[in-house]
Chains A and B, each alone.
Chain A
Amino acid sequence: MAYSKKVVDKFEKTLQDPEKHSVGRWDPSDSDIGTGMVGAPACGDVMRLQSSVNKEIIHM
């Protein structure tokens, strides 16, 4: 088994319910949302991180 049980569990749960695990997409054109993307498709990994800031709290 190439990956630990923890990793596989997290993966499967995320796949079943992405929203619950903070995986998804906010509207990047919204002025309250900042979007960053890093990585390289050639290596097989690209990550997109979005944050939303209001007066008190940063949501990611």
Chain B
Amino acid sequence: MKLPIYFDYASTTPADPRVVKKMQDCLSLDGNFGNPASRSHAFGWKAEEAAEEARSHVADLVNCDPREIVWTSGATESDNLAIKGSAIFNKAKGNHIITSKVEHKAVLDSCRQLERQGFEVTYLDPGSNGIVTPEMVKEAICEKTILVSLMHVNNEIGVINDIKAIGKITRERGIVFHVDAAQSTGKVDIDLSDLEVDLMSFSAHKTYGPKGIGALYASRKPRIRLEAQIHGGGHERGMRSGTLATHQIVGMGEAFRIAKEDMNSDNERIMKLRDKFWDGLKDMEEIYLNGDEKQRVAGFLNVSFNFVEGESLIMALKDIAVSSGSACTSASLEPSYVLRAIGLKDELAHSSIRFAIGRFSTEAEIDYTVDLVRDAVDKLRILSPLWDMYKDGVDLDSVEWIEH
């Protein structure tokens, strides 16, 4: 077992060896290096064939037509293209956009940008379980609403939104529905023939593919119209110009093909590991699992350890690679905006750790981590004046703190 142990699969995943093999065949002179847009020779034809095969793998995983898949540089670009592209195209119909406070920055910052251009954006508050319900969306809709953008699976807490029900509501009213599915491919079933979703963002590097490639699903029935964000050659039916990166595309295609084959067995395995992990921790005093208990993906656990200071917790856990709920290392003292949005007080948000298990996690790693976490939290609590006060029965909310 190598240290540090990787438990940050929500942040990125290692490329599957099968993916790497396929990618390597598309780079050098003796590989499939041609420009897929070169119509006039075999180098181009072979490259185009590989790119189209990869496109069909992506379409197969989510059950859509391959012609509905547009290659991008990643889910961030897909989010930008979907949100800016559809809002601007439809701005004659209205200027109101609905999204949520717990979306990925690619969505939030795109919406902010549109606000600067005269659009109005409603940022919905999720429930304390992290989920944005169809009812919340319906309440926020008005006659000027042209776009709803919500994520399928939340990257920080792992909860799942009911995009099928939300899609029904938006389709009824002719509102464009964009879903950021960067975290859902390979974890949750996606059947676009059964979902009333107009645009969906995909990421390769969250599903054991390479970084730097993603895709956007753009519905043909009904046909979604977008204003391209990147111009220069009209590739991807005019929606996204730029020479297709065959090796990246082939990598994403293979990753999604594997995801379709292995999703069920992966999930089963990961769920067992997750349950073992949580069983090892759940009897600890004053710890909280953030996000809905049931409506979540198998591998993500965002846990708050009360009365333990966040920075020191990260330091004490340096044998494992995880993500914390705070950005203490940055200039600001802002804790995670997602944890804030679901109602966590700052001090609890600061003491939160996201554990994300994945395809290559082992039982030995889980066992080691459980012991490490328990030990670290116990030792840190011994040092914590707040823990002492809690043990003495002091109501910490009643204390008036003087800041220095």
Asked if A and B bind, the verdict is yes
* A46 CB, nearest partner CB in chain B, Å: 6
Confirm or deny: B168 has a beta carbon within 8 angstroms of a beta carbon on chain A: no
Secondary structure at the A interface, as helix, strand, loop or mixed, is mixed
- Scan residues 15-51 of chain A and give those whose CB is less than 8 A from a CB of chain B: 15-16, 18, 23, 25, 37-48
* Residues in chain A near residue B396, CB distance under 8 A: 41
| B113 part of interface (Cβ distance < 8 Å) | no
- Among B329, B345, B385, B403, point to the contact of A2 (Cβ < 8 A): B329
Nearest-neighbor residue (CB-CB) of A8 within chain B: B315
Q: Does B380 contact A (CB under 8 A)?
A: yes
Known: A44-B309, A44-B326, A44-B347. A39 touches B403 (CB 8 A): yes
Shortest Cβ distance from residue A60 to the other chain B in the assembled complex, whole angstroms: 15
CB distance from B18 to the nearest CB of A (A): 33
B383 interface contact, C-beta 8 A = yes
B311 contacts A by Cβ under 8 Å: yes
| Cα-based distance from A37 to B350 in the complex (angstroms) | 20
Known: A8-B315, A11-B312, A25-B388. A42 touches B402 (CB 8 A): no
Tell me if B's interface is mostly helix, strand, loop or mixed.
Answer: helix
The answer to whether A41 touches B380, judged by C-beta atoms less than 8 angstroms apart, is no
Contact: A41 with B401, CB < 8 Å? yes
For A3, list chain B residues within 8 Å (CB): 315
Nearest A residue (CB) for B396: A41
Among residues of A, the one whose C-beta sits closest to the C-beta of B307 is A41
- Knowing A15-B379, A25-B388, the reply to whether A39 touches B333 (Cβ < 8 A) is no
Interface size class of B (residues with CB under 8 A): 20 to 34
Chain A residues near B386 (CB-CB < 8 A): 41, 46
Q: Can you name the residue of chain B whose Cβ is closest to the Cβ of A14?
A: B383
Q: Is there an interface contact between A40 and B326, defined as CB atoms closer than 8 Å?
A: no
**Does the CB pair A39–B401 fall under 8 Å?**
yes
Pair A40/B383 contact, Cβ less than 8 Å = no
Report B-chain residues with C-beta under 8 Å of the C-beta of A41. Answer: 346-347, 386, 396, 401
- Residue-by-residue, is B310-334 near A (CB-CB < 8 Å gives 1, otherwise 0)? 1110011010000000101100010
Closest chain B residue to A49, Cβ basis: B385
Residue of A nearest to B333 (CB): A43
Residue of B329, B347, B380 touching A15 (CB-CB under 8 A)? B380
Interface string of B343-367 (1 = CB under 8 A from A): 0011100110000000000000000
A43 partner residues in chain B, CB cutoff 8 A: 333, 346, 403
User: Is A15 in contact with B316, judged by CB distance below 8 angstroms?
Assistant: yes
- A41 CA to B344 CA in the complex, in Å? 13
Residues of chain A lying within 8 A (CB to CB) of residue B140: none
Q: B346 — which chain A residues lie within 8 A by C-beta?
A: 41-43
Instruction: Contact check, B382 vs A18: say whether CB atoms are below 8 A apart.
Output: yes
Q: How far is the CA of A46 from the CA of B315 in the complex (A)?
A: 17
Question: Is B404 interfacial (CB-CB < 8 Å)?
Answer: yes
C-alpha gap A18/B379 in the complex (Å): 9
Binary contact readout B383-404 vs A (1 if CB under 8 angstroms, 0 otherwise): 1011010000000100001111
Q: How far is the CB of A13 from chain B (nearest CB, A)?
A: 12
CA distance A8 to B315 in the complex (A): 7
A42 to B278, CA, bound (A): 27
A-B contacts, 21 of them at CB < 8 A, read A8-B318, A11-B312, A11-B315, A14-B383, A16-B379, A18-B382, A25-B388, A37-B385, A38-B401, A40-B403, A41-B346, A41-B386, A42-B345, A42-B347, A43-B346, A44-B310, A44-B328, A44-B347, A45-B309, A46-B309, A47-B385
Q: A38-B401, A44-B333 are in contact. List 14 more A-B contacts (CB 8 A).
A: A2-B329, A8-B318, A14-B383, A15-B383, A18-B382, A18-B383, A38-B404, A41-B396, A41-B401, A44-B309, A44-B310, A44-B347, A47-B385, A48-B388
Q: Which 6 A-B pairs have the closest CB atoms?
A: A48-B385, A41-B347, A42-B346, A44-B350, A40-B401, A40-B403
